[in-house]
C-alpha cells in the first residue's frame, strides 16, 4: 500500500469519525447579546455547550463598530470573530446554511434574542439538524424560542437546563440514529 493510499484512508477515517461524533456549531449574534450590561462569559458558555458534543464551529458575528478589545476577547475565548459591514443576521444565515447542507454538523446552537434568527433555526430543523436557541430576557423573541427544538435561558442556571435537554433528547430520539453524546 502506497503512502498516498494510507493518507487517503486516514483522512476518510477522520471524516467518518467527525460525522459520527455529533459535531456542534455555535453561532452568536454579537451585537444582540454581547453587551456590558449582560455580562456574558463566552468561555463559560462554550464549555457548557461542549456537553452536547465536540464544537466544530464557534463564531461570533459582529458589526463594524466592534472594538479591538472585544475582537481580542472573542478570539481568546476560542471563537472566530466575523465582522461585517452589513446585517449580522444575513451573514449568520448564509454561513449556517453551509453548515446545514454539509454533513459534519449535527447540532446547531444559536445564541440570539432577535427574531431574525428564527428562519435559520427553522431551516436547520427542516434539514434534520437538532437545534438549540439560547437567549435571555428582556427581549428574547418568542419566534426564536418556537423555532428551536430546545431553548436554554442564560438568565437561569444552564447546567440543569442542559441536563434536562440531554435527558429529553435521549427519550424522544431513541428510534433515530443520532443522540447527544454522554
Query: Does residue 55 lie in a domain region?
Result: yes
Neighbours of 9 (CB within 10 A): 11
Q: How many domains does the chain have?
A: 1
User: Which pLDDT does position 167 carry in this prediction?
Assistant: 73
What domain range is 39 assigned to? 17-172
Residue carrying C-alpha cell 471563537: 79
Query: Does residue 179 lie in a domain region?
Result: no
Query: Does residue 118 lie in a domain region?
Result: yes
DSSP string, 68-85: HHHHHHHHHTTPEEEEES
Q: Specify the pTM.
A: 0.75
Query: Does residue 74 lie in a domain region?
Result: yes
CATH number for position 43: 3.40.50.1010
Query: Does residue 147 lie in a domain region?
Result: yes
User: Which pLDDT does position 109 carry in this prediction?
Assistant: 94
From first to last of its 182 residues, the chain has per-residue pLDDT tens of 566 566 666 555 544 544 445 689 999 998 888 887 777 888 888 888 888 888 989 999 998 888 888 888 898 988 999 998 888 888 898 988 888 888 778 899 999 999 999 999 999 999 988 899 999 888 899 999 999 998 888 876 666 777 777 776 544 444 343 343 43
Pick the closest to residue 111 from 61, 69, 161 (CA basis). Answer: 61
User: Which pLDDT does position 174 carry in this prediction?
Assistant: 40
- For residue 156, give the C-alpha cell: 437561569
Separation CA 125–CA 104 (nearest Å): 15
User: Which pLDDT does position 114 carry in this prediction?
Assistant: 92
Query: Does residue 182 lie in a domain region?
Result: no
User: Which pLDDT does position 4 carry in this prediction?
Assistant: 59
Query: Does residue 43 lie in a domain region?
Result: yes
Query: Does residue 34 lie in a domain region?
Result: yes
User: Which pLDDT does position 27 carry in this prediction?
Assistant: 94
Amino acid at each position: 500500500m502506497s503512502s498516498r493510499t494510507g493518507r487517503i484512508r486516514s483522512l476518510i477515517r477522520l471524516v467518518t469519525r467527525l460525522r459520527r461524533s455529533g459535531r456542534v456549531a455555535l453561532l452568536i449574534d454579537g451585537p444582540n447579546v454581547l453587551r456590558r450590561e449582560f455580562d456574558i462569559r463566552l468561555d463559560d458558555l462554550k464549555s457548557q455547550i461542549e456537553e452536547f458534543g465536540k464544537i466544530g464551529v464557534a463564531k461570533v458575528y459582529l458589526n463594524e463598530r466592534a472594538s479591538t478589545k472585544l475582537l481580542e476577547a472573542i478570539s481568546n475565548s476560542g471563537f472566530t470573530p466575523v465582522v461585517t459591514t452589513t446585517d449580522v443576521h444575513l451573514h449568520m444565515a448564509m454561513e449556517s446554511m453551509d453548515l446545514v447542507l454539509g454533513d459534519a454538523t449535527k447540532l446547531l446552537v444559536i445564541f440570539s434574542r432577535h427574531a431574525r434568527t428564527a428562519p435559520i433555526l427553522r431551516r436547520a430543523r427542516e434539514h434534520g439538524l437538532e437545534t438549540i436557541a439560547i437567549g435571555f430576557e428582556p427581549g428574547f423573541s418568542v419566534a426564536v424560542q418556537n423555532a428551536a427544538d430546545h431553548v436554554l435561558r442564560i438568565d437561569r442556571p444552564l447546567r440543569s437546563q442542559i441536563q434536562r435537554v440531554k435527558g429529553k433528547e435521549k427519550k424522544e430520539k431513541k428510534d433515530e440514529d443520532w443522540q447527544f453524546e454522554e
